[in-house]
Amino acid sequence: MKHVHYARISIWIVCLLLSVFIDPVWAQGPGAISAGDTAWVLTASALVLAMTIPGLAIFYGGMVRSKNILSTMMHSFIAVCLVSIIWVLWGYSLAFGTDIGGIIGSLDYIGLTGVGPEALSGLTIPHSAFMVFQLMFAGIAVALISGAMAERVKFSAFLVFAALWATFIYAPLAHWVWGGGWLGRLGDLDFAGGTVVHISSGVAALAAALVLGKRHGYGTDTIVPHNLPLTVVGASLLWVGWFGFNAGSALAADGLAAGAFVATHVATAAGALAWLVVEWSYRGKPTLLGAASGAVAGLVAITPAAGYVGPLSAIWIGLGGGGLCYMAILWKNYLGYDDALDVLGIHGIGGSWGAIATGLFASVGGGTGLFFGNPGQVLTQCIGVGATWMFSFIGTFLILKVVDLTIGLRVSKDEEVLGLDLSQHSERAYA
Amino acid sequence: MKLIEAIIKPFKLDEVKDALIELGVQGMTVTEVKGFGRQKGHKETYRGTEYQIDFVPKVKIECAVADDLEDKVIETIARASKTGSIGDGKIFVSDLSRIIRIRTGETGEGAV
């Protein structure tokens, strides 16, 4: 029972560390707060939370075998909990604190010092509303990666990984693009996180699949989804929540938000249709899992472009997302890595396509792309995609290696065969 | 006494049950099972990957009957469950040495 003692001691240490942070008393700021904008951004924050739990949790949960659904849902659930605390303590400051060399934020917002009800400069919402909106993004980014680790990662290892990844990969990337870092200054367009959330988590998933190795029986046993209705409900919830993600990224209840809302919706519909058509012609049958996956691919693809494109461009971006992501998932079988729930295929490839497509189709909201007379934007977008791929892949690879060498990433073969629900959590989904 | 086990297509269960009740059969046990014969399995496709599923869902009916009912029961099950296409199933018949009704302790054909 040695590990129980370690757990107790860790809890005491965490409590002691937390006691250092004491809430200061906020002074009311002078900036003008808009009730409408604030209401929308707070609502959007809750919608983004609903994307992760229950949305992503059941989207992923239905796709694993019945012996692993609880552990899979646990990854999303606990990613939200853990990242929320990290974001408040130091994550937000690293991402949005005063810029240091274009690379990282300073520690001036540590423990949310100075992040209160006053309006954020240039915006009409409280600083704390912006902070909590961004918190939800960090949560879903970490949860997304868990799809590549499903059915074989050790729970304790996932916790350590999640904390390290949120700190050393997500926070710097968010800073590069949105926090005053070098990519944003270069003119990289990422309206709602196609690069920061989706490319970064998709590429991290590839690193995770490579470091963890294949699931036992992969390629020989029949490893198929155990509850697709759950997965489709999850995908549908992701669609609903994504309006918060994309339209909320306008950070105001205005025309830009409405435009992003419309673009998001039509791109998603187009993504589902594209996947279905490609799948139908390739395999002879259209599947509901395909339609749901295509919808998510469309959502991912439109994310960086949502505020920069009109509805017709959004259709093209969605169609490209659905078609390309289906092809990416077929390539996985040739390449042979076991990205269990296709995080790279959908979020990595869909996010990369969306980022480049933003450079092609941008025409409104302050962005201009190739098709509207600004060829340089495509190059900028490609730099953003390339830098994110490299940073996320190398960084995630190193983090995973460190975790593997210290506490071990993977459960034993016996535990894997038994299922993670029983071996990691001592509980079963279906009695 | 005979134990008759019939493996049939699941959607034929109600027809078979009704026909057997009409014949005077007193009870039966039904189990959802999986297996394959000449029908083999089917293909399933998830995200572009095809899987060969060998075991097909079937229903197994177990029914203990007196010797004089044996032929009629077999004929009834066969008639009610037949579709004429591959995968209609099989009927297995075996001798039953003892039957005991738990509540009363009756044995033999009186316990069927």
Q: What is the 3-state secondary structure (H, E, C) of chain A?
A: CHHHHHHHHHHHHHHHHHCCCCCCCCCCCCCCCCHHHHHHHHHHHHHHHHHHHHHHHHHHHHHCCHHHHHHHHHHHHHHHHHHHHHHHHHHHHHHHCCEECCCEECCCCHHHCCCCCCECCCCCCEHHHHHHHHHHHHHHHHHHHHHHHCCCECHHHHHHHHHHHHHHHHHHHHHHHCCCCHHHHHCCCCCCCHHHHHHHHHHHHHHHHHHHCCCCCCCCCCCCCCCHHHHHHHHHHHHHHHHHHHHHHHCCCCHHHHHHHHHHHHHHHHHHHHHHHHHHHHHCCCCHHHHHHHHHHHHHHHCCCCCCCCHHHHHHHHHHHHHHHHHHHHHHHHHCCCCCCCHHHHHHHHHHHHHHHHHHHCCCCCCCCHHHCCCHHHHHHHHHHHHHHHHHHHHHHHHHHHHHHHCCCECCHHHHHHCHHHHHHCCCCCC
pLDDT the model gives residue A334: 86
Radius of gyration, CA atoms only, chain B: 17
Most confident among A12-26, A126-140, B23-37, B46-60 (mean pLDDT): A126-140
Tokens of A289: 């899992």
C-alpha to C-alpha distance for B45 and B74, rounded to whole angstroms: 38
Average the pLDDT over A299-321 and give the result.
Answer: 98
Task: For residue A279, give the nearest of B48, B51, B53 by CB distance.
Answer: B48
Between A119-123, A158-162, A211-215, A425-429, the lowest mean confidence (pLDDT) is in A119-123
pLDDT the model gives residue A3: 59
pLDDT at A152: 98
**Interchain CB contacts (distance < 8 Å): A and B:** 26
Instruction: Note whether B46 contacts A: Cβ–Cβ < 8 A.
Output: yes
pLDDT in tens, A93-130: 999 999 999 999 999 999 999 999 999 989 999 999 99
Question: What pLDDT sits at residue A333?
Answer: 84
C-alpha distances in angstroms, A39 versus A171, A227, A254, A286? Answer: 26, 36, 12, 40
The predicted structure's pLDDT at residue A4: 58
Any residues with CB less than 8 A from the CB of A352 and at least 6 apart, and which? A199, A202, A385, A389
What integer best gives the mean pLDDT of chain B?
93
Rounded Cα distance between A343 and A68, Å, is 17
Question: Nearest CA of chain A to the CA of B7: how many Å?
Answer: 24
Q: How far apart are CA A328 and CA A352, in angstroms?
A: 12
Of B47, B48, B51, nearest to A222 by CB-CB distance is: B51
Confidence band for A26, pLDDT divided at 50, 70 and 90: very low
Is the pLDDT score of A20 beyond 60? no
- Quick one: pLDDT at residue A13? 65
Q: Looking at beta carbons, which residues of chain A come within 8 Å of B49?
A: 333
What share of chain B has pLDDT > 90, as a percent?
Answer: 81
Residues A335-357 have a mean pLDDT of: 97
Assigned token pair, A147: 């799809």
Does residue B55 sit at the A interface (CB-CB below 8 Å)? no
Distance of alpha carbon B19 from alpha carbon B81, whole angstroms: 10
Which of A225, A326, A330 lies closest to B46 in CB terms? Answer: A225
Q: Could you give the 3-state DSSP secondary structure of residue B19?
A: helix
Is residue B7 within a helix (H) or strand (E), and if so which, with residue range? strand B2-8
pLDDT reading at A27 higher than 80 = no
Number of helices (H), then strands (E), belonging to chain B: the values are 2, 6
Distance, CA of A354 to CA of A378 (rounded, Å): 11
CB neighbour class for B27 (10 Å; exposed up to 12, middle 13-18, buried from 19): exposed
Residue B92 is predicted with a pLDDT of 97
Average pLDDT over residues B21-39: 92
Mean pLDDT within A153-173: 98
Q: What is the pLDDT of residue A21?
A: 59
Question: How far is residue A259's CA from residue A301's CA, in Å, rounded to a whole number?
Answer: 16
Which residue, A391, A357, A382, A402, is CA-closest to A174? A391
Tell me what pLDDT residue A29 has: 46
> What single-letter amino acid sits at A155?
F
Nearest-CA distance A233 → chain B (Å): 17
Q: Do B46 and A287 touch (CB under 8 A)?
A: yes
For A365, phi and psi rounded to 5 degrees? 65, 20
Indicate the residue of B47, B49, B53 with minimum beta-carbon distance to A293.
B47
What domains can you pick out in chain A, each with its CATH number?
34-425 (1.10.3430.10)
What is the pLDDT at residue A348? 98
Task: Judge: A329–B47 Cβ closer than 8 Å, yes or no.
Answer: yes
The predicted structure's pLDDT at residue A2:
53
pLDDT of A226 strictly over 60: yes
**Per-residue model confidence (pLDDT) at position B38:** 84
Of A283, A333, A342, Cβ closest to residue B45: A283
Q: What is the Cα–Cα distance from A416 to B2, expressed in whole angstroms?
A: 45
For A76-85, A422-431, B42-51, which range has the lowest pLDDT when averaged over its residues? B42-51
Give residue ranges of A with CB < 8 Å to any B CB: 222, 224-225, 279, 282-283, 285, 287, 289-290, 293, 326, 329-330, 333, 342
Residue A311: its pLDDT value, please? Answer: 97
Residue of A222, A285, A289 with shortest CB distance to B47: A289
The CA-based angle B38-B40-B43, given to 5 degrees, is: 155
Q: What's this model's pTM, rounded to 2 decimal places?
A: 0.89
Window from A40-54, A163-177, A235-249, B97-111 with minimum mean pLDDT: B97-111
Residues on chain B touching A342 (C-beta within 8 angstroms):
47
Chain A residues in contact with B48 by the CB 8 A cut-off are: 279, 282-283, 326, 329-330, 333
Compute the mean pLDDT over every residue in chain A, rounded to the nearest whole number: 94
- Specify which residues A337 forms β-bridges with: none
Check residues A269 and A8 and name the one with the higher pLDDT. A269
Q: Which residue of B has its CA nearest to A346?
A: B47
* pLDDT tier at A9, thresholds 50, 70, 90: low
Measured between CA atoms, the residue of chain B closest to residue A331 is B48
Q: Which residues of A touch B41 (CB under 8 A)?
A: none
Residues of A in contact with B46 (CB under 8 A): 224-225, 287, 289
Judge whether B95 is closer than 8 Å to chain A, CB to CB. Answer: no
How many whole angstroms separate alpha carbon A294 and alpha carbon A306?
Answer: 17
- Put simply, the answer to whether A289 touches B51 (Cβ < 8 Å) is no
CATH T-level topology, domain B2-111: Alpha-Beta Plaits (3.30.70)
B47 touches chain A (CB under 8 A): yes
Q: What is the mean pLDDT of residues A20-25?
A: 54
For the cut 70, the answer to whether the pLDDT of residue A19 exceeds it is no
Q: Which residue of A has its CA nearest to B51?
A: A222
Q: What is the pLDDT of residue B37?
A: 87
pLDDT tens-digit readout, A73-90: 999 999 999 999 999 999
Cβ of B46 and A224 within 8 Å? Answer: yes
